[in-house]
Amino acid sequence: MKHSFLDQYSDRDSPLHRLDPRSKLVATLAFIIAVVLTPVDSWPAYGMYLVLLAVLIVLSRVPPLYILRRSLVIVPFVLLVAVLIPFFKGGEVAGSYNIGMWNISVSQSGLQIFWNILARAWLSIISLSILAATTRFASLLEGLERLRFPRVLVMLLSFMYRYIFILTDEVMRMKQARDSRSFGGKWRWQIKTVGNMVGTLFLRSYERGERVYAAMVARGFDGHSRTLERLRFGRRDALFAAGLSLALVAINLFNLLY
């Protein structure tokens, strides 16, 4: 079955695609840290971050609309977390409403924080989308491993990436099997069916886990994951990470003086 892949466009070619994943990982992390640490009221700095990302997107030759679409995924989550802040943060009142017996007021600084959280989250997710769209998942994992990210976590991620599509297929098949025998029925009955399906999926995944482990053991696995060193961290990679970090520092210095 067809699925939209997590790392779509990552098999294309561009200056960004050719970089060592370690360089991109470090640069992305630096970017996110910088964004998170930028003061709330420094809107010019946020503008410049966006420009920086735009330059990267152009360099990566990934369709900007694709990155935009991916990045919007974060909005509902942020809204859920941040939507109440304007109502509870004290300070200068931006507006107040009377709804029945409640008096609800929205504070100026609360609103600013709200927009700020949204902007930070959005910029961070754009940078991550660029990373994912320019790096194959396998090299991303390799990069993480070489950066001394815990091996167990890298293996976990790798299994998740490998099996998520197989599990999706399994769910789709179960759904088809249910739908071809299901003729409505009470709401409670349908919920129960879904519950059974979740249970079955769990058991099947568990059994698959055992078979996969047997296949690993049969090829000499002894609990230590080993991989070949295939990455080459070259001058260009160092240049990219350093250049991006410098740009971030420059943005913040400019912001300080401004």
Partner 1 sequence: MEELITVKNLSFSYPDGQQALIDVNLAIYRGESLALIGPNGAGKSTLLLHLNGILRSNGAVSLLGSPIDESNLKWARSRVGLVFQNPDDQLFSPTVFDDVAFGPINMGLSDGQVRQAVTRALGLVGMSGYEKRSPHHLSFGEKKRIALATVLSMSPEILVIDEPTSNLDPRGKWSFIGVLERMAGTKIIVTHDLELVGALCRRVVILDQGRVVADGGTGDILADKRLLAAHGLAPDGADLKLKRRG
When the beta carbons of 202 and 221 are compared against partner 1, the nearer one is 221
Single residue of 137, 145, 240, 247 touching partner 1 by CB under 8 A: 137
How far apart are alpha carbons 5 and 15 in whole angstroms?
22
- Only one of the segments 57-65, 137-145, 181-189, 236-244 lies at the binding site for partner 1 (rule: CB under 8 A); that segment is 137-145
Residue with tokens 């909005």: 75
User: Binding residues for partner 1, how many (CB under 8 A)?
Assistant: 26
When the beta carbons of 178 and 208 are compared against partner 1, the nearer one is 208
How far apart are alpha carbons 112 and 232 in whole angstroms?
44
The distance of closest approach from Cβ of residue 139 to partner 1 in the complex, given in angstroms and rounded to an integer, is 9
> Maximum Cα–Cα distance for the chain, whole Å?
71
- Taking residue 30's Cβ as centre, other Cβ atoms within 10 Å add up to 17
Query: Roughly how many angstroms between the first and final C-alpha of the chain, as a whole number?
Result: 54
The distance of closest approach from Cβ of residue 242 to partner 1 in the complex, given in angstroms and rounded to an integer, is 29
When the beta carbons of 137 and 240 are compared against partner 1, the nearer one is 137
- Only one of the segments 124-132, 135-143, 145-153, 190-198 lies at the binding site for partner 1 (rule: CB under 8 A); that segment is 135-143
Question: Binding mask 83-122 vs partner 1 (x if CB under 8 A, - otherwise)?
Answer: ----------------------------------------
Show the beta-strand stretches assigned E in the chain: 93-99, 102-107
Distances from the Cα of 169 to the Cα of 1, 49, 160, 172, angstroms: 7, 39, 14, 5
* Cβ atoms of 107 and 89 closer than 8 Å: yes
When the beta carbons of 83 and 217 are compared against partner 1, the nearer one is 217
Contacts of 247 (CB under 8 A, 6+ apart): 52
Question: Binding mask 206-245 vs partner 1 (x if CB under 8 A, - otherwise)?
Answer: --x--xx-xxxxxxxxx---xxxx----------------
How far apart are alpha carbons 219 and 24 in whole angstroms?
33
The distance of closest approach from Cβ of residue 230 to partner 1 in the complex, given in angstroms and rounded to an integer, is 9
Residue with tokens 């910029």: 123
- Asked whether the CA dihedral 149, 25, 252, 235 is positive or negative, the reply is positive
Query: Residue 99 gets which letter from DSSP?
Result: E
When the beta carbons of 211 and 235 are compared against partner 1, the nearer one is 211
When the beta carbons of 159 and 202 are compared against partner 1, the nearer one is 159
* Cβ atoms of 88 and 110 closer than 8 Å: yes
Tell me what percent of the chain is helix, strand and coil, each rounded to the nearest 5: 70, 5, 25
The distance of closest approach from Cβ of residue 159 to partner 1 in the complex, given in angstroms and rounded to an integer, is 7
Is residue 162 a contact residue for partner 1 (CB under 8 A)?
yes
The distance of closest approach from Cβ of residue 206 to partner 1 in the complex, given in angstroms and rounded to an integer, is 13
* Binding residues for partner 1 (CB under 8 A): 137-138, 141, 158-159, 161-163, 165-166, 208, 211-212, 214-222, 226-229
